[in-house]
Amino acid sequence: MISLTAILLRIARHRLSPNAIKSRAIQFAWTLSKKSFWSPVKNQCILLHKGVSMGYGSYSSDGLNLRLANGTIVGNYCSIGPGVVSFNANHPDHFFTTHPILYNPKCGHVTSDQLDRITLEIGHDVWIGANSIILPKVKRIGNGAIIGAGAVITKDVPPYAVVAGNPGKILKYRFSESTIADLEKTKWWDSTMESLKKNTHCLNTIASPVHNLKTAIPQYSNFEKPANTIRHQGTMHLDEKIK
Ligand SMILES: CC(C)(COP(=O)(O)OP(=O)(O)OC[C@H]1O[C@@H](n2cnc3c(N)ncnc32)[C@H](O)[C@@H]1OP(=O)(O)O)[C@@H](O)C(=O)NCCC(=O)NCCS
């Protein structure tokens, strides 16, 4: 067993900066939890390493190489495919140059970040297909939405919409309006996986929501809630829909 002194000596020898130490600690914790496709430890690593809040049960195929913008909030039970990218600001187009010299303090001209950065909120149960790009005007992707592989998302995405293409357009909705409303009412994503699996009749109802969803709605509220579940600030219903 390596003692704390040995670790500190090693750090001193390699003259690791605090950031390098943090990064190695995160990599170490990640390696320990590598076997599970999802775990709270993994999501904590993503938060510390990338500044992205991943909700209960949510995971990224890219793991620690996730490229969602810093500050992004991802709901529960989301699947983020490989190569997904999002941006939280455009380079300014109203200055004489779009170069970071005018907004990035690292360039030495300004003392603080000069860009207005948005916070992207991704709802619960969202599946984002491989290599899709989410542009800075997008603030919300609704619960249950699907983003097709290679899509370029330019506007907010309504709940349960399937959006694909460049620019992203709605191909269809996954369910009828009333089923979507019922699914939103269940808030099943606020339940732990264990409680869902224990109540198989409810899980099966979600699997085939056209059947008896209404009878299941009151039951979900009694399920065990995960600690630290993502609570979105605003409503996930959208004012502006992709036409
Ligand atoms: C979006 C998606 C879920 C739709 O699947 P689907 O409902 O079975 O849709 P279909 O294959 O029936 O396609 C319907 C139409 O949308 C088009 N389409 C489907 N996916 C598309 C995409 N990603 N980009 C552009 N157009 C797409 C099809 O060409 C078809 O057009 P048409 O009606 O003119 O022929 C699927 O195509 C997709 O992109 N999946 C993502 C896979 C992925 O990235 N996995 C990563 C692992 S996490």
pLDDT at 230: 57
Indicate whether 238 pLDDT > 90. no
Indicate whether 170 pLDDT > 50. yes
Average pLDDT over residues 41-50: 91
Residues 79 and 196 in one domain: yes
Indicate whether 117 pLDDT > 90. yes
Residue partners of 147: CB distance under 8 A and separation at least 6: 126, 127, 128, 129, 132, 134, 141, 153, 157, 163, 164, 168
Flag the least confident range among 133-137, 144-148, 168-172, 191-195: 191-195
pLDDT at 232: 53
Report yes or no on 178 lying in a domain.
yes
Average pLDDT over residues 85-107: 94
Percentage of residues in the chain having pLDDT higher than 70: 83
- E-assigned strand segments in the chain: 53-54, 59-60, 73-74, 79-80, 85-86, 121-122, 127-128, 133-134, 140-141, 146-147, 152-153, 161-164, 169-173
- Residue 32: domain span: 7-36
pLDDT at 191: 87
pLDDT at 24: 83
pLDDT at 242: 32
Structure-token match 């349960």, residue found: 160
Distance between CA atoms of residues 40 and 193, nearest Å: 13
CATH number, domain with residue 132: 2.160.10.10
* Banded model confidence at residue 25, pLDDT cuts 50, 70, 90: confident
* CB of residue 168 inside a 6 A radius of ligand 1: no
* CB of residue 213 inside a 6 A radius of ligand 1: no
Distance between CA atoms of residues 215 and 75, nearest Å: 25
Residues 86 and 146 in one domain: yes
How many angstroms separate the alpha carbon of residue 173 from the centre of ligand 1?
A: 13
- 124 among known catalytic residues: no
Indicate whether 198 pLDDT > 50. yes
Distance between CA atoms of residues 68 and 46, nearest Å: 10
Closest CA to 121 of 165, 157, 162: 157
What average pLDDT does the chain have?
Answer: 85
Report yes or no on 86 lying in a domain.
yes
* CB of residue 164 inside a 6 A radius of ligand 1: yes
Residue partners of 59: CB distance under 8 A and separation at least 6: 37, 38, 42, 78, 79, 80
pLDDT at 240: 31
Report yes or no on 1 lying in a domain.
no
Atom of ligand 1 minimally distant from the CA of 129? 44
Helix (H, G, I), strand (E, B) or coil at 67: strand
Average pLDDT over residues 67-80: 96
Phi, psi of 75 (to 5 degrees): -70, -165
Residues 81 and 98 in one domain: yes
Average pLDDT over residues 107-114: 93
* CB of residue 84 inside a 6 A radius of ligand 1: no
pLDDT at 217: 64
How many domains, the chain? 2
How many angstroms separate the alpha carbon of residue 29 from the centre of ligand 1?
A: 36
**pTM score over 0.75:** yes
Residues 73 and 184 in one domain: yes
Flag the least confident range among 92-101, 114-123, 208-217: 208-217
Minimal-distance CA residue to ligand 1 atom 25: 165
Minimal-distance CA residue to ligand 1 atom 18: 164
Average pLDDT over residues 67-93: 96
* CB of residue 129 inside a 6 A radius of ligand 1: yes
Residues 95 and 163 in one domain: yes
